[in-house]
């Protein structure tokens, strides 16, 4: 180990059920601030479920296990005891794989609320927002840094955004909120190669030594400027293998067949989960 103590996001034995079906079956993961971790795995293995569970989405029921923020001095905060907004104020951020649109709410207004809340964790709804001038200045600077058109922030949140625009809006949120821990769920999906490169650079610049980042991705490109300390592979609701950046490269190149044959039990769970899903879908199938 070595090095000085730093704040960590610590997940132990996490089980999560969605609509009564167990999806995560015992996940252990520790992310320190300043570290990048990559999370890979076939579709349906539970990667997004882990993100939602960390953030506290009400549809994702934690049935066992713990999630703590552990401070450098050893102080622990139980994330599972907090509402999603408290988790955000505690410095945890999830960039959604499929962000929601909020017609009628401009991105700039949305960000001003979010930034105010995260920076004043004790603020009550209705209390004053961050001063407009200060906010505008900061937003403008961040958008310039990210090569974004300032007009973009006048649009309604994700309303009619292209896939790429949604992802860029998530990165802008990341830049403005500067969380301690960020989960980026397929922030590269729907982006062309140049946009992924820009996203990768932006995330590296925003993250730096301060942020712990979990990058959920199928590709290597997003990791180009965010070389992971560890790459984790999820299969059948468990992290079955962890390695270095070379593991991400291998999976990107060769896919998950080696993983499936190396971990037959998890592969069987994967098949069972797919069968269950198919069976559940059957009555409405044509």
Q: Is there binding between residue 48 and ligand ADP (CB under 6 A)? A: yes
Which is nearer to Mg ion, 47 or 168 (by Cβ)? 47
User: What is each CA distance from 212 to 9, 29, 191, 238, 271, in whole angstroms?
Assistant: 8, 12, 23, 21, 32
Q: Is there binding between residue 284 and ligand ADP (CB under 6 A)? A: no
CB of 263 to Mg ion, least distance (A): 20
User: What is each CA distance from 137 to 133, 206, 238, in whole angstroms?
Assistant: 6, 17, 44
Alpha-carbon 100 to chain mean position: 15
CB of 18 to ligand ADP, least distance (A): 4
Stretch that binds ligand ADP, among 15-23, 85-93, 109-117, 218-226 (CB under 6 A): 15-23
User: Considering only residues 14, 17, 23, 53, which one is a binding residue for ligand ADP as defined by CB under 6 A?
Assistant: 23
CB 207 within 8 A of CB 226: yes
Q: Is there binding between residue 26 and ligand ADP (CB under 6 A)? A: no
Q: Residue count at the site for ligand ADP (CB under 6 A)? A: 14
Residues 74-103 touching Mg ion, rule: CB under 5 A, are 97
CB of 164 to Mg ion, least distance (A): 18
Give the one entry of Mg ion, ligand ADP, none that residue 84 binds, where binding means its C-beta sits below a cut-off of 5 to 8 angstroms depending on kind: none
Stretch that binds ligand ADP, among 36-44, 163-171, 195-203, 205-213 (CB under 6 A): 36-44
Ramachandran area for residue 169 (φ above 0: left; ψ -120 to 50: alpha; else beta): alpha
Q: Is there binding between residue 189 and Mg ion (CB under 5 A)? A: no
CB of 6 to ligand ADP, least distance (A): 28
What is the SS3 assignment for 22?
strand
CB 120 within 8 A of CB 176: no
Residues 53-112 touching ligand ADP, rule: CB under 6 A, are 59
What is the SS3 assignment for 223?
helix
User: What is each CA distance from 7 to 41, 92, 198, 260, in whole angstroms?
Assistant: 27, 12, 28, 34
CB 246 within 8 A of CB 229: no
User: Considering only residues 48, 117, 173, 202, which one is a binding residue for Mg ion as defined by CB under 5 A?
Assistant: 48
Which is nearer to ligand ADP, 89 or 218 (by Cβ)? 218
Helix (H) or strand (E) holding 117: helix 107-119
Q: Is there binding between residue 41 and ligand ADP (CB under 6 A)? A: yes
Among 208, 210, 205, 214, which residue's Cα sits nearest to residue 182?
214
User: Which residues are at the interface with ligand ADP (CB under 6 A)?
Assistant: 18-19, 23, 41, 43-49, 59, 273, 277
């Amino acid at each position: 180990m070595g090095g000085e103590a730093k704040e960590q996001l610590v997940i132990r034995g996490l089980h999560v059920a969605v609509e009564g079906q167990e999806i995560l079956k015992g996940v252990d993961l520790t992310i320190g601030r300043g570290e990048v971790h990559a999370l890979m795995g076939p579709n349906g293995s539970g990667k997004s479920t882990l993100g939602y569970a960390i953030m506290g989405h009400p549809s994702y029921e934690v049935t066992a296990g713990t999630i703590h923020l552990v401070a450098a001095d050893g102080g622990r905060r139980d994330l599972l005891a907090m509402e999603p907004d408290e988790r955000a104020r505690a410095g945890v951020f999830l960039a959604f794989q499929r962000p929601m649109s909020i017609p009628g709410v401009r991105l700039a207004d949305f960000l001003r609320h979010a930034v105010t809340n995260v920076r004043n964790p004790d603020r009550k709804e209705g209390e004053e927002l961050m001063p407009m001038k200060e906010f505008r200045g900061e937003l403008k600077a961040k958008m310039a840094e990210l090569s974004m058109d300032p007009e973009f922030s006048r649009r309604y949140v994700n309303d009619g955004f292209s896939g790429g625009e949604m992802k860029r809006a998530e990165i802008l949120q990341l830049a403005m909120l500067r969380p301690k821990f960020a989960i980026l769920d397929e922030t590269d999906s729907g982006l062309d190669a140049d946009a992924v490169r820009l996203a990768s650079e932006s995330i590296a610049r925003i993250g730096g030594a301060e942020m712990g980042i979990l990058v959920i991705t199928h590709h290597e490109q997003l990791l180009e400027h965010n070389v992971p300390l560890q790459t984790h592979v999820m299969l059948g609701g468990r992290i079955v293998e962890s390695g270095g950046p070379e593991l991400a490269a291998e999976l990107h190149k060769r896919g998950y067949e080696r993983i499936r044959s190396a971990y037959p039990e998890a592969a069987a769970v994967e098949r069972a989960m797919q069968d269950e899903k198919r069976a559940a879908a059957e009555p409405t199938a044509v």
